[in-house]
Amino acid sequence: MTMCTVFRKDVQAVLDREMNVGVGVTIPPHAEPNDRCPITDEDARRLGGMALLMQAGVHPELRDRLKFAEAGAVDWSPVRRPDTD
In a domain, 30, yes or no: yes
80 belongs to a structural domain: no
With bands split at pLDDT 50, 70 and 90, how would you rate the model's confidence at 8? Answer: very high
pLDDT in tens, 27-38: 887 788 778 889
Please, what's the b/e burial string for 61-80 (b: 16 or more CB within 10 A of its CB; e: otherwise)?
Answer: eeeeeeeeeeeeeeeeeeee
Q: What is the mean pLDDT of residues 69-74?
A: 75
- Band of residue 12 on the pLDDT scale cut at 50, 70, 90: very high
In a domain, 39, yes or no: yes
CB neighbours (10 Å) of residue 53? 16
Q: Please check whether residue 56 lies inside any domain of the structure.
A: yes
Q: What is the pLDDT of residues 38-70, one digit of tens each?
A: 989 988 888 888 888 888 988 999 999 988 877
pLDDT over 90 (residue 26):
no
CA distance 50 to 21: 19
Assess if residue 13 is contained within a domain.
Answer: no
Asked whether residue 36 is domain-assigned, the answer is yes
Is pTM beyond 0.75 here? no
Query: Residue 19: inside a domain, yes or no?
Result: no
Taking residue 84's Cβ as centre, other Cβ atoms within 10 Å add up to 7
How many domains are contained in the chain?
1
Residue 48 is assigned to a structural domain of this protein: yes
